[in-house]
Amino acid sequence: MDWWIDERPQNGNSNHPVIQKSIDPLRIYMSRYLDMVDGPAHVKKLTPAQLEQLAEEIRQELIEGLAKGGGHLGPNLGVVELTLALHSVFTTPHDKFVWDVSHQVYVHKMLTGRKNRLRTIRQTDGLNGFALRTESEHDCFGAGHAGTALSAALGMAAARDKKGTDENVVCIFGDAALTNGISFEALNNISHTTKKFIGILNDNEWSIAKNVGAISGYLNKLITNPSYNKLSKDFENFIRKLPKGGLALKLAHMAEEGVKGAISEVGMRQKSEVAFSADGRGGYGNPVLFEELGIRYLGPIDGHNLPLLISTLEFAKTCDHPIVIHVLTQKGKGFEAALKFPEKFHGLGSYDAKTGETPASKPGTPPMYQDVMGQTAVKLAQKNNTIVGITAAMPTGTGMKHLEKAMPDRYIDVGIAEEHGVIFAAGMATMGYHPIVAIYSTFLQRAYDCIHHDVCLQDLPVIFCMDRAGLSANDGPTHHGLFDISYLRCLPNVIAMAPANEDELADMMFTATHQNHPVFIRYPRGTAEGVPVKDQPQLLEIGKAQVVQNFSTNGKKKVALFGLGPMNTIARKAAQQLETEGYDVAVINPRFTKPIDAGTTEFFGRAADLVVTLEDHVLMGGYGSAVLELFSEKNVTTQVVRIGWPDQFIEHATTQDELRKKYGLSVENTVAKVKAQFDEAPAKVTRLIEVA
């Protein structure tokens, strides 16, 4: 219904003609359509024009709402229309949306009752940055790692078929997911498992960095191909109803085969605007990848054309066979800075909502661990021709961008394919190379069998640099690296290290290049300790700890603090406080989690009245467990307090310090636990005190 208002001149001249303007009645009561959308049902009530306006309002809210706390801005700006179309056609939570990685669900969260909490996302007690089943019934499957959506969605579709229910299962996966082996395992099973499956290939040519490999090239060819399969009758009828549908059909029939390329933005232009010829990227592709797997392919279509998206999804909803819709979106759409720097705006901290500029580092700020790793890799590669760098679509996050820039012929990005990357490195190691594989601790879990079967079993000299070992506070449990000590300690042939500072990281990388065994180096996210990095790294003795501070033999109660990696800083600060309260404190930097320094550990175990281990890792199976195992073997009866993370998944928060304080990985808690143990007057038997 159209409402009208009269505009009359302010001078009250009744003879002046009345000007009538059409207005939207909803706008009388709401300043924005976004303000009235409290759930998916409200989206369905909006007209196409209102949805277009809502899309712009959502983009502005994303840009302004994430400016202070940061987040995955670019990916979410790219899926605004797609998400609106999904909620216009389908009905969650009855229908299921399964998002690959799910870092692009901010718009989905806004439309499912969580818009008022957008500015809390990735903050303490705020919204999670990914889909989370415990957060909303509209989040049917949690994620954070790539390549899982197709398999999960297929499992839901199979369960639906067995139950005889009618839910629509829609899987939204990116072009980067197709560099991942799990995705192909799912694609191989879809047509043999169900007849009703809707996949949306969200193609923006980026994962975090620019996509690499043959699959990326294949999709590029599909984008420019004006002809695919012969025009089916049902799809022809569907196309005729679309804007420019007649033109699309005309272009389609000009070719020997169908309309799939013609309905894209490229295909809908007049023939004079775009010649149907190869684009310099190797010629035209075809949808054989999907259709030979029994999955109908439709597209590419403009992912920012709301009417086209809605009509296409309505068509897919009626299909009685699996279908994949290839949607072209623009990462960062609507924000110039995000379009100009897509990798930076994939995920970032605070920024200026108008310019996109990010705060400059304060003078004197220590370097990031990832940059120290990358710069060290360059130095080592310049002097050692056997060194190559490998990353899995994370050149900036891992610091490998430094090697890519300085020595591109020694840098390899395998895409989001950690399993392949690890075995690829193993193959290179058999030919005399020392590959440095830079993968986050949490993502290396995906390649565990490859580490076991292909690297460790064959005792190959692959060097693993595991960034984000410890907390990734804003991202939460999908990205915390709290399990690698446990899953590596049990494997034979492993050398595993944890530097206390950036200079020691360089020493460990240098030491790793001199080994003929698999080497794993874990280090945290963020800024380092501010220790200057030597021009020439030092070769470390394998399995040898560093005694930072010895006992003073002053007759006081003796406490030995074993602070692993970044926890050595906490150990040293705790030692200073304990000394002021009358304790004799030794501080040891273990350096190695395998093999641990048995001699030094046993010596301080027997000399101390209390041993404390501190680690940025779960207690179960971690460094403290290794110390306990040694004490059991050597019959050391000294009491042991272990400080680390509990046997649970740790939530997200604004900062890692908040989580450390909450779970007791702090100077204050270390001091308190030491004092409490002496107050309890323990018996002379080995006792385990777990602190988390």
Q: Which residues are catalytic?
A: 331, 418, 446
Cα–Cα distance, 58 to 106 (Å, whole number): 10
Identify the bridge partners of residue 212 per DSSP, sorted by sequence position: none
Stated as kind and residue range, the H or E segment containing 163 is helix 149-163
- Ordered strands of the 434-438 beta sheet: 411-413, 387-391, 434-438, 463-466, 519-522, 495-497, 592-594
Name the amino acid, one letter, at 490: C
- 235 with 241: CB under 8 angstroms? no
Angle between helical axes of 149-163 and 181-193 (0-180°, round to 10)? 20
Cα–Cα distance, 261 to 271 (Å, whole number): 13
Cα–Cα distance, 394 to 439 (Å, whole number): 8
Identify the bridge partners of residue 171 per DSSP, sorted by sequence position: 98, 199
Cα–Cα distance, 153 to 149 (Å, whole number): 6
Identify the bridge partners of residue 589 per DSSP, sorted by sequence position: 546
Cα–Cα distance, 455 to 388 (Å, whole number): 16
Identify the bridge partners of residue 452 per DSSP, sorted by sequence position: none
Cα–Cα distance, 521 to 523 (Å, whole number): 7
Q: Can you spell out the DSSP letters for 610-662?
A: EEEEEEEEESTTSHHHHHHHHHHHHT---EEEEEEE-SS-----S-HHHHHHH
39, two tokens? 């759930």
Name the amino acid, one letter, at 203: D
> Nearest Cα to 594, choosing from 479, 489, 481?
489
**Cβ atoms within 10 Å, residue 332:** 25
Tokens 């207690």 correspond to 619
Tokens 């799809």 correspond to 235
- 201 with 325: CB under 8 angstroms? yes
Rg (CA), the chain: 29
Length of the chain: 692
**Cβ atoms within 10 Å, residue 356:** 21
Provide the 8-state DSSP code for 345: G
Sequence-separated (6 or more) residues with CB below 8 Å from residue 388: 381, 410, 411, 412, 428, 433, 434, 435, 436
Cα–Cα distance, 306 to 56 (Å, whole number): 12
Cα–Cα distance, 464 to 456 (Å, whole number): 12
Cα–Cα distance, 371 to 368 (Å, whole number): 5
Classified as helix, coil or strand, 584 is strand
Question: Cα dihedral angle (291, 293, 295, 296), rounded to 10 degrees?
Answer: 10
**Cβ atoms within 10 Å, residue 221:** 16
Q: First-to-last CA distance in the chain?
A: 61
- 414 with 424: CB under 8 angstroms? yes
